[in-house]
């Protein structure tokens, strides 16, 4: 009898052990498949780091620069990452103890980020060589920040979100100060670093407030907590009745997870979180770093800054607002409406006074962030769909414009007809008579700029129209009105660029030198997209609808 | 927490003892400063030029590297304590972390951040 008990005990123990072992060995089995694109990107960049540093410091090969080589390998890595992401068998789910999620949204935005990073590297390769920004680390920082953006897109809780944002920002600080012998670049790096760190601090404080008041860091948990509170009716009774006793009277039959003071605390945390995000997105009251950083950083870096991070940040922002904080909508909506209106106004009015082209583009991007924020205020499916459509179009147009701006030009002094070396475009007047020197390039830039302004047959008009339609259909008349007004105002400076290209005689004659093959390819593709989107918008429409559906769930 | 009380008292006593040692020499020793005595010591010569000099970036690099590897050690401490609990998975996770750091270290090495020539 005794031995029988021992045997059964042993048997159960061995079963427990084996199940434990099985559990351990199968833990995360599928999770690593889910992060395969990110894993590949990180491993490839580590490999490239070793490869680059070993070869560039080897005396036997004569210290090769490897700039072009590593850039092409980085491009290959981006392409392979995109291929892996498309062929990943796991498309939906939550992984790694609720830190990482995959759905239709993540796939769409990841492809957007990878393609944006790829094309921004493609258009800046020639520029990097010409400016002799010789560090092969440039491409590696691009790879690492892209991988962090991919992690950011699928972040499912505050910790993974914050860590991804920090990895991305850290790469960006280094990139902004990448040209060490340029004062402007150093200043841009420092400014970006200080303000970026400040905004990250705000973000983190918001996260810790919310964690402190709710005890949850996962986005889905937060949504459950806030929803349970909102349906219990406590908050609304608190708002409607000024008499606190009535709240206390109700409290007995309400099984709510949060008290009213915690609700206030969560609101405060949410405001800090939103401010942190708006800092990163350069929305207006928090935009002051953007023009200086865009102006000071090397143009290749500016292109990367303005093309790639916006989708990654926006998708997490939308996920937070629409999933975790949907029950706070009345609070954050007013805040974001204010920021959106202010961004649109500042983007259009401050852009009028700019003559430096990168500054102009910085203000223009601030204005476009304002338009993007319109879609967040709607709270409807159409709004989110408009966000996705507008983001895609905006990124394509930005790639196009930066491909043109990074084209080298030769300045010829007016008196002595001699070349004064190859320069880069600084002022809008540098584009003068581009239409005579290189009519095709002028036409391309005209198309891109008109698309930013929202002139009818081009893609930008489609995006803006969709946004304003979404705003109108959710009764955001003020936003639609301001959006239309400011886009009419900003037409002025967009059209001025076109006027300079076609009708203005320059003081010093400039000629654009030959564009690199990669840039011209990207330019042709993006221009084709801008022009031809009107003819066949269905794929984008369907994909963005899918994104909006998945985001609003 | 209570075991820190002894350390706190030890800290107080150490501070007090240092104050006493300083104070005794302050009271007992003779002090007659003159310009020669309080001037900067530069091997007997007057100082040749400005005391400001170019800062060597190597010191900065060493400080940064110290911070990075110090952080690595703070991550290693809890891992080392619970290694029998976290099993092979925990072991290999830390190995992945160390691999990434090692790649960073190789980068520094090849870049010459550790050369003091």
Predicted confidence (pLDDT) at residue A503 exceeds the cutoff of 60:
yes
For A200-240, write each residue's pLDDT tens digit: 999 999 999 999 988 889 998 888 888 877 665 555 444 44
Residues of A in contact with B87 (CB under 8 A): 24
Q: Which two tokens stand for residue A109?
A: 């935005």
- Tokens 């894993």 found at: A39
For residues A393 and A537, give the distance between their C-alpha atoms in angstroms, rounded to a whole number: 11
**What is residue A239's predicted lDDT score, i.e. its pLDDT?**
46
Sorted by sequence, the CB contacts under 8 Å of residue A69 that are 6+ apart come out as A136
3-state secondary structure A8-68: HHHHHHHHHHHHHHHHHHHCCHHHHHHCHHHHHHHHHHHHHHHHHHHHHCCCCCCCCCCHH
For residues A93 and A100, give the distance between their C-alpha atoms in angstroms, rounded to a whole number: 8
Listed in sequence order, the DSSP H helices in A406-433 are none
For A324-367, write each residue's pLDDT tens digit: 888 888 888 999 999 999 999 999 999 898 889 899 999 999 99
Contact B87 A24 (CB under 8 A): yes
Q: Smallest Cα–Cα separation from A127: which of A83, A77, A71, A177?
A: A71
**What is residue A256's predicted lDDT score, i.e. its pLDDT?**
52
- Chain B residue with minimum CA distance to A135: B111
Residue A540 pLDDT grade (very low, low, confident, very high; cuts 50, 70, 90): very high
Sorted by sequence, the CB contacts under 8 Å of residue B106 that are 6+ apart come out as A50, A53, A54
Predicted confidence (pLDDT) at residue A242 exceeds the cutoff of 90:
no
A155 - beta bridge partners?
A100
Mind telling me how many Å the CA of B111 is from chain A's nearest CA?
7
**What is residue A421's predicted lDDT score, i.e. its pLDDT?**
57
Q: Which two tokens stand for residue A148?
A: 């962090």
**A268 in reach of chain B (CB within 8 A):** no
A512 - beta bridge partners?
A409
Predicted confidence (pLDDT) at residue A101 exceeds the cutoff of 60:
yes
Q: Smallest Cα–Cα separation from A311: which of A199, A152, A172, A458?
A: A152
Predicted confidence (pLDDT) at residue B71 exceeds the cutoff of 90:
yes
**What is residue A15's predicted lDDT score, i.e. its pLDDT?**
53
**What is residue A255's predicted lDDT score, i.e. its pLDDT?**
44
| CB A449 within 8 Å of CB A387 | no
A356 - beta bridge partners?
A427
**A21 in reach of chain B (CB within 8 A):** no
When scoring A22, A27, A42, A57 by the number of chain B Cβ atoms within 10 A, the one with the most, hence best to mutate, is: A57
**What is residue B40's predicted lDDT score, i.e. its pLDDT?**
81
Residue A2 pLDDT grade (very low, low, confident, very high; cuts 50, 70, 90): low
**One-character DSSP codes across B57-117:** HHHHHHHHHHHHHHHHHHHHHHHHHTHHHHHHHHHHHHHHHHHHHHHHHHHHHHHTTT---
**What is residue A134's predicted lDDT score, i.e. its pLDDT?**
85
**A54 in reach of chain B (CB within 8 A):** yes
**Half-sphere exposure of residue A446: CA atoms within 13 angstroms, side-chain side:** 17
- Chain A residue with minimum CA distance to B85: A24
For A354-413, write each residue's pLDDT tens digit: 889 899 999 999 999 999 999 988 888 999 999 999 999 999 999 999 998 888 776 655
For A64-80, write each residue's pLDDT tens digit: 888 899 999 999 999 99
DSSP label at residue A535: G
For A409, the enclosing helix (H) or strand (E) is strand A409-412
Round the CA-based radius of gyration of chain A to a whole number and report it. Answer: 26
**Average pLDDT, stretch A10-36?**
64
**What is residue A70's predicted lDDT score, i.e. its pLDDT?**
93
**B103 in reach of chain A (CB within 8 A):** yes
Q: How far is CA A366 from CA A179, A405, B78, in A?
A: 25, 19, 45
Contact A57 B87 (CB under 8 A): no
Share of chain A above pLDDT 70, in %: 86
- Chain B residue with minimum CA distance to A25: B89
Of B87, B88, B106, nearest to A50 by CB-CB distance is B106
3-state secondary structure A250-272: HHHHCCCCCCHHHHHHHHHHHHH
**What is residue A254's predicted lDDT score, i.e. its pLDDT?**
44
A218-232, A288-302, A316-330: least confidently modelled range: A218-232
**One-character DSSP codes across A298-341:** -HHHHHHHHHSHHHHHHHHHHHIIIIISGGGHHHHHHHHHHHHH
Q: Which two tokens stand for residue A183?
A: 């004062």
When scoring B99, B107, B108, B114 by the number of chain A Cβ atoms within 10 A, the one with the most, hence best to mutate, is: B107
Residues of B in contact with A57 (CB under 8 A): 110-112
Of A24, A46, A57, nearest to B110 by CB-CB distance is A57
For A144-160, write each residue's pLDDT tens digit: 999 999 999 999 999 99
Residues of B in contact with A53 (CB under 8 A): 106-107, 110-111
**Average pLDDT, stretch A261-285?**
90
Q: How far is CA A476 from CA A352, A374, A376, A470, in A?
A: 27, 9, 11, 9
**CB within 8 Å of chain B, chain A residues 205-264:** none
Average pLDDT, chain A: 85
When scoring B110, B112, B114, B115 by the number of chain A Cβ atoms within 10 A, the one with the most, hence best to mutate, is: B110
**What is residue A345's predicted lDDT score, i.e. its pLDDT?**
93
| CB A285 within 8 Å of CB A199 | no
Q: Smallest Cα–Cα separation from A96: which of A163, A44, A170, A47?
A: A163
Q: Between these two residues, B47 and A392, which has the higher pLDDT value?
A: A392
Q: Smallest Cα–Cα separation from A364: which of A353, A374, A373, A351?
A: A351
**What is residue A176's predicted lDDT score, i.e. its pLDDT?**
93
For A423-441, write each residue's pLDDT tens digit: 677 888 888 878 888 889 8
For residues B23 and A1, give the distance between their C-alpha atoms in angstroms, rounded to a whole number: 81
**What is residue A268's predicted lDDT score, i.e. its pLDDT?**
92
**What is residue A250's predicted lDDT score, i.e. its pLDDT?**
47
**Average pLDDT, stretch A523-541?**
93
Q: Which two tokens stand for residue A81?
A: 């990452």
**CB within 8 Å of chain A, chain B residues 42-101:** 87-89, 100
**What is residue A246's predicted lDDT score, i.e. its pLDDT?**
45
Residues of A in contact with B111 (CB under 8 A): 53, 57
**A43 in reach of chain B (CB within 8 A):** no
C-alpha torsion A235→A241→A242→A247, nearest 10: -60
**Average pLDDT, stretch A502-528?**
85
For residues A410 and A420, give the distance between their C-alpha atoms in angstroms, rounded to a whole number: 7
Q: How far is CA B92 from CA A39, A44, A527, in A?
A: 15, 19, 48
- Interface size A-B, in CB pairs within 8 Å, comes to 21
**A49 in reach of chain B (CB within 8 A):** yes
The total number of residues written for chain B in this structure: 117
Q: How far is CA A290 from CA A135, A191, A195, A306, A471, in A?
A: 25, 9, 10, 10, 27
């Amino acid at each position: 009898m005794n031995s029988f008990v021992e045997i059964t005990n042993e048997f159960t123990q061995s079963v427990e052990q084996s199940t434990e072992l099985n559990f351990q060995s199968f833990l995360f089995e599928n999770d690593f498949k889910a992060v395969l694109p990110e894993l590949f990107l990180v491993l490839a960049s580590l490999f490239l780091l070793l490869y680059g540093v070993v070869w560039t410091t080897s005396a036997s090969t004569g210290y090769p620069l490897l700039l072009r080589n590593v850039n092409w390998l980085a491009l290959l890595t981006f392409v392979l990452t995109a291929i892996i992401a498309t062929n990943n068998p796991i498309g939906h789910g939550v992984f790694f103890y609720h830190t990482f999620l995959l759905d239709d949204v993540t796939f769409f935005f990841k492809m957007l980020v990878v393609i944006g990073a790829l094309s921004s590297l493609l258009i800046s390769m020639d520029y990097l060589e010409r400016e002799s920004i010789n560090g092969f680390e440039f491409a590696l920082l691009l790879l690492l920040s892209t991988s962090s953006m991919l992690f950011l897109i699928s972040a499912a809780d505050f910790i993974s979100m914050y860590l991804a944002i920090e990895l991305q920002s850290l790469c960006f600080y280094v990139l902004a100060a990448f040209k060490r012998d340029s004062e402007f670049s150093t200043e841009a790096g420092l400014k970006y670093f200080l303000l970026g760190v400040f905004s990250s601090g705000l973000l983190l404080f918001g996260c810790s407030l919310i964690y402190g008041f709710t005890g949850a860091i996962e986005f889905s948990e937060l949504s459950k907590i806030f929803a349970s509170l909102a349906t219990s009716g406590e908050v609304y009774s608190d708002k409607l009745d000024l008499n606190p006793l009535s709240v206390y009277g109700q409290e007995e039959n309400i099984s709510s997870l949060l008290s009213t003071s915690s609700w206030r605390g969560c609101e405060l945390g949410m405001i800090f979180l939103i401010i942190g995000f708006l800092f990163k997105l350069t929305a207006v009251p928090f935009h002051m770093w953007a023009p200086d950083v865009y102006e000071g950083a090397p143009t290749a870096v500016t292109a990367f800054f303005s093309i790639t991070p916006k989708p990654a940040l926006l998708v997490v922002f939308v996920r937070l607002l629409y999933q975790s904080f949907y029950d706070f909508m009345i609070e954050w909506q007013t805040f974001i409406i204010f920021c959106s209106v202010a961004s649109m106004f500042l983007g259009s009015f401050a852009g009028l006074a700019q003559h430096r082209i990168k500054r102009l583009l910085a203000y223009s991007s601030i204005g476009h962030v304002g338009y993007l924020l319109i879609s967040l205020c709607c709270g409807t499916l159409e709004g989110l769909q408009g966000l996705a459509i507008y983001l895609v179009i905006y990124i394509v147009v930005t790639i196009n414009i930066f491909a043109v701006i990074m084209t080298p030009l030769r300045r010829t002094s007016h008196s002595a007809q001699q070349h004064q070396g190859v320069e880069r475009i600084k002022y809008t007047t540098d584009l003068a008579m581009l239409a005579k020197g290189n009519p095709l390039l002028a036409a391309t830039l005209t198309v891109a700029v008109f698309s930013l302004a929202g002139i009818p047959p081009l893609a930008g008009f489609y995006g803006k129209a969709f946004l304003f339609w979404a705003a109108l259909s959710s009764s955001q008349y003020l936003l639609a009105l301001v959006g239309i007004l400011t886009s009419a105002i900003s037409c002025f400076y967009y059209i001025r660029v076109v006027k300079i290209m076609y009708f203005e005689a320059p003081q010093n004659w400039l000629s654009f030198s030959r564009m690199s093959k990669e840039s011209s390819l990207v330019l042709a593709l993006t221009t084709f997209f801008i022009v031809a989107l009107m003819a066949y918008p269905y794929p984008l429409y369907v994909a963005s609808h899918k994104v909006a559906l998945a985001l609003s769930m | 927490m209570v075991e820190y009380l002894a350390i706190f008292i030890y800290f107080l006593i150490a501070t007090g003892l240092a104050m006493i040692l300083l104070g005794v020499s302050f009271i007992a020793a003779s002090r007659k400063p003159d310009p020669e005595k309080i001037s900067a010591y530069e091997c007997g010569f007057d100082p040749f030029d400005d005391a400001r000099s170019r800062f060597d970036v190597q010191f900065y690099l060493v400080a940064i590297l110290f911070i990075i590897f110090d952080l690595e050690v703070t991550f290693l401490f809890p891992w080392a304590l619970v290694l029998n609990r976290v099993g092979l998975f925990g072991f290999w996770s830390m190995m992945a972390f160390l691999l990434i750091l090692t790649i960073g270290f190789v980068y520094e090495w090849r870049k010459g951040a550790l050369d003091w020539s």
